[in-house]
Chains A and B, each alone.
Chain A
Amino acid sequence: MQESIRNPEFAAKLALAFGELLDGIRPALQRVSMRMVGEGRQAALELRNTQTHEVQHWPLRKMRLVPDQARNDALVIAPGDGEAARLVVRDRDAALAIVQAVPKMPNLGRNARAWPAIIGLGMAAAACLAGILFVLIPHMANRGAAHIPVEAEIEFGQSAYTQFTSAMGARECVDPIGEAAVVRMTARVTQGVDLYVPLDVHVVDHPMINAFALPGGQVVLHSALIEAAHSPEEVAAVLAHEIGHVYHRHSTSAAMRDMATFGVVGLVFGDYLGTSIMGAVANMAISSSHSRDAELAADEFAHHQLEEAGLPPSALGDMFHRMQENGLGQDLGFMQHLSTHPEMADRIAHAEAASTGAVFGGPVLTEAEWQAMRNMCN
């Protein structure tokens, strides 16, 4: 570093200047006179106690500025990083002289050597956080979901249904004949299944082709899905899939997982900004990684139940193709994994090949019931 201390004017100014020294040993101010000595790398600030004439030399290249002072009425300088001594220069001219002598004095506490440790710890922390979010919380949510009291879950599911539908702007379709058809269809696809909770299947008026399951046995079919289906068997396949989610308590554990995820992310990032951004990102990543397994399990269930009920499992695949054709598959939580899981598409293709599409156990609904179901929301 090239210091401009060859300026004789500067040396003259400093020779007359005084500062206050805190030696970092005693809590007392010492009055010192300041003088510049040496040149180049040897350049140093000489501090002489005005009473005891004790002398200290502070090398200019090691000197650090104490930053972020509330009031700029004094220059506060440290002899180096990690040093306790301080020089307080209140005299304006002397302070200016020092600033001119060392124009680029680094701030105290700029420690480049700390970065490898920071990055190492950061990676360890990221691994731990990933462990909490992707392993620990899902595991605990699954364990916890299996032990939540059923009454509490039903209550939670009912309020979730009310909130969801009002948030989506959807209206529940009430029509006795249509509802009877839904009940019959539900009974058909749940043959021989022992569910831990009574099912509550709703049809709502909504233009998006979708269906979903909520905690506590709440299953919701959108009117658009029923309209898009070419046969009641296709609706039955979707219904069976959603009941699979209920059977496995997926929504319950997902709700617990979401709450815990937001809790942990909120705790870790601790503020509004971090929580909102990181919460959304983490949740998206976790949901997609876990929903894949959940969707597979629900498909498995649907497959089995459809066979049990004498209905063609290929209807599940038909419904999926229907959505793809309409270009509406992208919004679906249901069967979303098909795009990312080629083996599932294969499985459905196999099912289609194996199945003739015939309804062995008799149609799931009569023509009249099917029409009633289609017109429920009109």
Chain B
Amino acid sequence: MSALKTDFAGEKGDLFALALKTGFLTILTFGLYRFWAKTRLRRWYWSAIRPGGLGLEYLGSAHEKIMGFFVAIIVLALYLSVFNLVGLELVLAAANDTIGLQSFGLAALILVGFPLFFMARYRSRRYLLSRTTWLGVRLGMDAGAWGYAWRACLYWALTILSLGLFWPLKTFQLEKYVTNHSWYGTAQFKQHGNPLMLYGLAVPFLACIGGYVYLAYVAIQLPTTEEATLQDLELMGWLSLGAFCLFPVTLLAGAYFRVASIRAMAGLKELGDGMEFDLNPRTRKLLKIRIFGSLITAISLSFVSSVVIGLIAGVMMLLGYELDINFLFNTPPHIAMLAGTITGLLTYVLWGVFWHAFVTFPSTRHIAETLVIDEPMLLQRIRQRQDQSSGRMGILSEALDVGGAF
């Protein structure tokens, strides 16, 4: 049996219709339907991705999403009460009204939020995998959100302290942690390779960060504005220009690193004993999709308000009102408010619809079509994974989309 290629079976028009329908239902239900909308769109995308010709299936339900959302609110309430309220009182008491200590304490309180963010990210991924099947067999992830959270905090701290030098290390180690906790049925994923292999891909990105560090270094050497000579000011101008021009280059280099590192690490993942993968998304293609997709979305949405005003004027004319050109320039306040509300809601729905059709859809299709599964014969050794979503109450985090709610 040769390697399994992946098809993407779905039309942009169908997705557009589904996104439009669920978007309007979301508005009509004051936002409640968004849990169903998200579920249905995911089912659509999952079923479109067909490794070896057979689609994935998304098993998640709107019910568990809405429950996860409620649980998230309760967790937020507990977090805010415990950390912020108690923390604030402690800081106020301990700081003895010294402003420096107070701001230090408040910063520390904010930092407590980071582990929670990383935990939510891990849980969200765990939820997604546990709700995904292929060939009738579930994917899944071991519990490990705390382990992920402290590692993420540690590697981020290292990255920031090293001025970006440890960025590839962070990328590799976190991806390795997540991969090694992932399963397809009874087979476990393994991430091979080492962080060093990502450094080559990160050279442009690290060079850009180095450029910023250098600019900042030169800038702090300059005298303050009062004592600055004309030459200093000129140099300051050049520095600002440099920082400005470097920005898009940094973004490009960052995007390249992200895509290339995913590609490199996917090639070194192993499932069970010997199944391997290839995933070859191209940075240029994804960037093109992103840029043109955003442009199409923005341009299309810029017409919404004119269309709404036109429609309202049309309806009023049909109802027998006499309108002149002044109506456009001096719109009565209640009409303007109506038009504003309709424009706002339409923009909200259509933004999601266009973004799905012109950014998410083509990106997903491109990434999916580059997926190849080697040695599919080895699938024969794999069996269904034990269902961890039902039965035990302890696995609330997997059963409920807590992380995904935010």
Contact = CB atoms under 8 A, between A and B. Distances in A.
Partners in one complex: yes
Interface of A: 22-29, 66-71, 73, 76, 82, 84-86, 88, 109, 111, 114-115, 117-118, 121-122, 124-125, 128-129, 131-132, 136, 139-140, 143-144, 147, 149, 264, 267-274, 276-277
B interface: dominant SS: helix
Nearest to A111: B63
A114 B63 contact: yes
A174 to B, nearest CB: 31
B302 interface: no
B67 A121 contact: yes
Interface residues of B, number: 65
A147 B63 contact: no
A107 to B, nearest CB: 10
Interface of B: 9-11, 14-15, 18, 26-27, 30-31, 34, 40-41, 43-45, 47-48, 54-55, 57, 59, 61-63, 66-67, 69-71, 73-74, 76-78, 80-81, 84-85, 88-89, 92, 97, 99, 102, 133-138, 184-185, 344-345, 348, 379-380, 382-384, 387, 390, 405-406
Contact of B99 (A70, A128, A149, A267): A149
B43 to A, nearest CB: 4
A252 to B, nearest CB: 16
A269 B35 CA distance: 12
A140 B133 CA distance: 46
A136 B135 contact: no
Contacts of A128: 73-74, 76-78
A273 B343 CA distance: 12
A47 to B, nearest CB: 14
Given A147-B102, A269-B31, A28 B71 contact: no
B202 to A, nearest CB: 32
Given A25-B384, A69-B55, A70-B45, A136 B81 contact: yes
B379 A27 contact: yes
A85 B137 CA distance: 9
A160 B290 CA distance: 38
Given A68-B18, A68-B40, A267 B348 contact: no
A129 B34 CA distance: 20
B76 A122 contact: no
A23 B26 CA distance: 36
B30 A122 contact: no
A225 to B, nearest CB: 24
Given A86-B57, A140-B88, A271-B348, A70 B30 contact: no
B73 A268 contact: yes
Given A22-B136, A25-B383, A70-B10, 11 more contacts: A24-B137, A68-B47, A70-B14, A71-B11, A76-B57, A82-B390, A109-B62, A132-B76, A136-B77, A143-B89, A271-B31
A21 to B, nearest CB: 9
A26 B79 CA distance: 43
A332 B147 CA distance: 55
29 contacts: A24-B137, A27-B134, A27-B137, A27-B379, A28-B380, A29-B135, A66-B43, A68-B41, A70-B10, A70-B45, A70-B48, A73-B9, A84-B137, A84-B384, A84-B387, A86-B136, A115-B63, A117-B67, A118-B70, A121-B67, A121-B71, A121-B74, A122-B66, A128-B78, A270-B405, A272-B344, A276-B344, A277-B30, A277-B31
